[in-house]
Structure 1
Amino acid sequence: MINILVPTDFSALSKVAVLYAIKIANQLDGHITLLHVVTITQTVRHSMHDKIKDLEDDLITFAERDLNKLIKEVCKSVKTTEPISCRVVRASDFHDAIKKEAKRLKTGLIVMGTKGASGLKKAVVGSNTASVIELSQVPVLAVPERAKFKGFKEIVYASDLKNAEKELKMLMPYAENFGATIHLLHIAPSGKDVEALEEKVDKIVQRLGYTNVVTLVLVDYFIEGAIDQYLGVCKADLLAMFTHNLTFYEKLFDRSMTRKMAFQSSVPLLAFKQKR
């Protein structure tokens, strides 16, 4: 059983994430907790403190009501195998609240919505999801606004190969639960040493013994574009990535590039934080 945490602000986008999470939970016998964070004001004049406190109390009451309303609404669209829990917390920092709740609930997966955008809109819309991906120690599933859950049969794991064996071990339980094929994809910025890279990938897969793995090394300088194209070619249901500290090739897997893929990807993005 897996505990799934779904932060929500009651937007249409967060509702997409809730519906998606329910279908995952149904398949994995998981338990869902919906979380709404009421952001509190830390520094106010003493004369305003009581008024601010009353306002925050009202916001919590309204949020609890809206959470119960949301549950009733989504349950009309999809059946749930487990009751859905609700949590409203007040905190000065949204991301810190999610981190604490994830730890308290022993969360195995955080599910959030994300919306493709550009320019200033990209900086605002879905920024919470991208920031949670950057900071969370728990895997985060970023769900595009038009995504519909049909299971995870084809999982593309985009790898820089530096920690591929360790990362595959983390990804394999997800693939096994859904009977999925993993596409281990490495994008090389040049054609140099491609054969050696292919041999390295094959040896990693052989050592792990997971049979449902397709390995592929592509040459393309525009890494994120190559990944997005391959997602369409193999009709991927999920893109898996691991966030790393920045090095030369890891520009794809650093926090900013993972953020880009969260916005750019046409399929859900499962982001893990690589622990070194």
Structure 2
Amino acid sequence: MSIIVATNFSKLSENAVLYAAALAQEFNTKLVLFNTFRLPVHVANSRLPASSVDHFFQINKNKLKENALKISKEFNIEVSYKSSYTNLEEEVDSLMKLYKARFIVIGMSPKSLEQNLLGNPTTTLISMKEFPVLAIPLCAKFKGIKNILFACDLLEGVPLKTLAKLRQVSLSLKAIVTVFYVDKKVEELQTEINTNLDKELEDVTLLYKNVKSNSVIDAIEAEVKKSNSDLLVMMPKRYGFWESILHKSKTRMMASGLNIPLLSIPIKK
């Protein structure tokens, strides 16, 4: 098993690398650094032979290797690295299988109008709904994860296979999970819901909190700000073609501007 973290050597991604390294140390697992190679703008605008492009690629790869060695020494963990010409979203499936990864870690961009309209690499990975994605904001530093806020759609249910991933993470970190649900009316189903989640998240310390609100996103953001949660977990659903056109994922909307990491675990039947 391993954890993959994407880096382009920016301040945002390097913070994600440090967070992922601390998490790998906590899980006692291998860390894999992945970098998508891009030529510097001034170089890309010039006409260069293939040998020159390969030269810049090797420089980039050496930098990645140096980072891997530094992190391995600092955190006392096994670290490998991979640099590629292809985009992360094009190679992520094979990477996850090759390294038997628990999840992929990536930096979370600040919230902006552009991000809401066009998305970003984080929202692209989450939208693929194939594997868990852990998004790390620039302000987040790993100091242990003891309180997890699980924002879920209880009325539609979550398959045991999906909840098992949350259970595994929670037990490994010895974290308390607060099940957070936003709706206009939920009281009549509360007993049945609690019983099902208690069963499927066996051995995990669970707390429940229901909030009545017309805006799910606003309610979750407010709870994140006022709670002492170290991690927000959401589970995006898979939609058909027409549904995907009409529906804007709440998880995707949350994937920027948070002050704590977001773990997206896709629902799979």
TM-score (ref. length: structure 1): 0.83
Determine the structure 2 residue equivalent to 1:245. Answer: 238
- Check whether the contact 1:183–1:214 (CA below 8 A) recurs between aligned residues: yes
Determine the structure 1 residue equivalent to 2:112. Answer: 118
- Matched residues, percent identical? 25
Which of 49, 54, 61 in structure 2 is aligned with 1:57?
54
Q: Is 140-149 or 229-238 further displaced after alignment? A: 229-238
For the pair 1:204 / 2:196, whether they are aligned, the reply is: yes
Determine the structure 2 residue equivalent to 1:215. Answer: 208
Following superposition of structure 1 onto structure 2, how do residues 67-146 of structure 1 map, counting pairs within 5 Å?
Answer: 67-71=64-68, 79-91=74-86, 93-120=87-114, 127-135=120-128, 137-146=130-139
Summarize the Cα distance change of 1:70–1:36 in structure 2 as closer, same or farther, 3 Å threshold.
Answer: same
Determine the structure 1 residue equivalent to 2:25. Answer: 26
- Greater RCO, 1 or 2 (C-alpha within 8 Å, sep 6+): 2
Summarize the Cα distance change of 1:52–1:196 in structure 2 as closer, same or farther, 3 Å threshold.
Answer: farther
Summarize the Cα distance change of 1:152–1:246 in structure 2 as closer, same or farther, 3 Å threshold.
Answer: same
Determine the structure 2 residue equivalent to 1:164. Answer: 158
Distance in 1, matches of 2:116 and 2:72, equals: 31
Amino acid at match of 2:58: T
Distance in 2, matches of 1:38 and 1:262, equals: 24
What do you get for the CA RMSD once the two structures are aligned?
2.6
Deviations 1:129-182 (A, max 9, x none): 211122252211000111011111111111111233524322011000011111
Deviations 1:200-244 (A, max 9, x none): 321113323335001122111111111122223331000111111
Structure 1 gaps, min length 5: 41-47
Distance in 2, matches of 1:213 and 1:205, equals: 9
Deviations 1:183-206 (A, max 9, x none): 111111x23xx2223223211133
Determine the structure 2 residue equivalent to 1:235. Answer: 228
Determine the structure 2 residue equivalent to 1:44. Answer: none
Which of 180, 183, 188 in structure 1 is aligned with 2:178?
183
- Check whether the contact 1:182–1:213 (CA below 8 A) recurs between aligned residues: yes
Summarize the Cα distance change of 1:222–1:89 in structure 2 as closer, same or farther, 3 Å threshold.
Answer: same
Distance in 2, matches of 1:197 and 1:52, equals: 66
Amino acid at match of 1:103: K
Shift of residue 10, structure 1, vs aligned partner: 0.8
Distance in 1, matches of 2:258 and 2:232, equals: 8
Distance in 2, matches of 1:122 and 1:13, equals: 18
Which of 246, 254, 257 in structure 2 is aligned with 1:261?
254
Summarize the Cα distance change of 1:256–1:175 in structure 2 as closer, same or farther, 3 Å threshold.
Answer: same
Summarize the Cα distance change of 1:61–1:164 in structure 2 as closer, same or farther, 3 Å threshold.
Answer: same
Determine the structure 2 residue equivalent to 1:174. Answer: 169
Structure 2 gaps, min length 5: 40-46
